[in-house]
Structure 1
Amino acid sequence: MSLAQITEKIRNDAQKEADEILSKAKAQAGSITGKAEKECGEIKAGFDARFEAERPEIIKRGEIVANIDVSKMMLRAKRDLIDDVYRGALEKMKELPEDRYLSFCSALLDGGVTAKDEEVVVGNGEKYIDAAWIDSYNSAHGTKLSLSDEKAGISGGFILRRGRISVNCSWEMLLKVSQEKQESDVVKRLFPSA
């Protein structure tokens, strides 16, 4: 046998062996791929079955979350409406005619004065309570109240002060106290079905 024939035979044998190895590898790869596809199918079927079983619970949880969000929005809207009612009441109090305003303030002073020599602090934009009105109140009630030079950040009414003790009779404070006491009644009137 010549060298060319030996080389050819080695090449043919190597090719034959490579083809066999490649054929076995392809068969093994096909078997592994088949098993993997079967496992993937089983896993997918398991997930699909699990999802179908849990689907009502997932939908129910989504509805619960949506209902909670709606309830929060409704509560916020109701809270805003209640706040609007009290803001409207504050605006009405600011617009009281002079005689009703001063009559109301006089009644508040009657209930708030204890030592009869307190200082009356009014807001920056106070239109009706002035030194002349305080003097007329003093004359009618036997008190020695004085109008403070200091101004408070209030919309109306006054703060009665003696030393370190203050009685806040501002419109804001009166509405705050009223809101704390009567908010449940306001809610019942605004939202009768609630």
Structure 2
Amino acid sequence: MALEDIVRNIKAKATQEVKRIKEEADKEGEEIIKKAREEADKVKTRILYQLESQAKEGKRKLVIRMRSEERKKLLIHKRKLMDEAFRQAKQKLSSLEKAEYLSLIKRSLISNIDSGEEEITVSPRDEEWMEGNFIKD
């Protein structure tokens, strides 16, 4: 074998070895990229799950807060309506003449007697007006 053949043979073997090393490096690189993508997908999935959970929890808290605010507004509105109803009732009762007022009170008291042992509390003005045998009259 001539020197040229030996050099050619060494070059061919070196070329084959370089090609084999390059293919092996490419394969390892692809494997590393594949594993990195898989890990990135796992991280992405975990982050998306956490964000969805946080969003759901935030939405749930917002709904609870909004419902609470609506209940508060409703209670305030009911309180205003009750206050107005009591104000109007007080105004109407105050504008009645004594005889008409006492007749209304008497009917109300009689219609609400259950046992005959009830005890009522009246204002000083009503006590003064209900002199004597108020109920018996």
When normalised by structure 1's length, the TM-score is 0.38
Name the residue aligned to 2:33: none
Distance 1:134 1:78 in 2: 44
User: Quick one: which of 39, 45, 49 aligns to 1:53?
Assistant: 49
Structure 2 residue 132 is the aligned partner of structure 1 residue 98:
no
Query: For each residue in 1:32-52, what CA deviation from the matched residue of structure 2 results, as whole angstroms up to 9, or x when unmatched?
Result: xxxxxxxxx9xxx56554212
CA distance 1:139–1:49, change in 2 (3 Å): closer
| Alignment counterpart, residue 73 of structure 1, candidates 69, 72, 76 | 69
| CA 1:87–1:139: 2 relative to 1, 3 Å | same
- The DSSP-based 3-state class of the residue aligned with 1:122 is coil
Q: Separation in 1 of the partners of 2:60 and 2:104?
A: 50
Q: CA deviation at 1:98?
A: 2.5
More strand by share: 1
| Percentage of matched positions with identical amino acids | 16
C-alpha separation between the residues in 2 aligned to 1:75 and 1:112?
34
Q: If you compute each CA radius of gyration, which structure gives the higher value, 1 or 2?
A: 2
Q: Which has the higher contact order (CA 8 A, sep 6+)?
A: 2
- Alignment CA distance shift 1:111-1:74 (3 Å): same
Q: Secondary structure of 1:121's match?
A: coil
CA pair 106-68 structure 1, distance change in 2 beyond 3 A = same
Structure 1 residues 49, 139: CA separation in 2 closer, same or farther (over 3 Å shift)?
Answer: closer
What secondary structure does 1:82 align onto?
Answer: helix
For residues 50 and 135 of structure 2, what CA distance do their matches in structure 1 show? Answer: 78
Structure 1: which amino acid aligns with 2:130? W
The alignment yields a C-alpha RMSD, in angstroms, of: 3.4
Task: Provide the TM-score with structure 2 as the length reference.
Answer: 0.50
Residues 138, 107 of structure 1: CA spacing in aligned structure 2 closer, same or farther, 3 A cutoff?
Answer: closer
**Are 1:134 and 2:131 counterparts?**
yes
The one-letter code matched in structure 1 to 2:103 is: S
3-state DSSP class of the match of 1:137?
A: coil
Matched AA of 1:106 = K
Q: 1:55 to 1:103 in 2, by over 3 A?
A: same
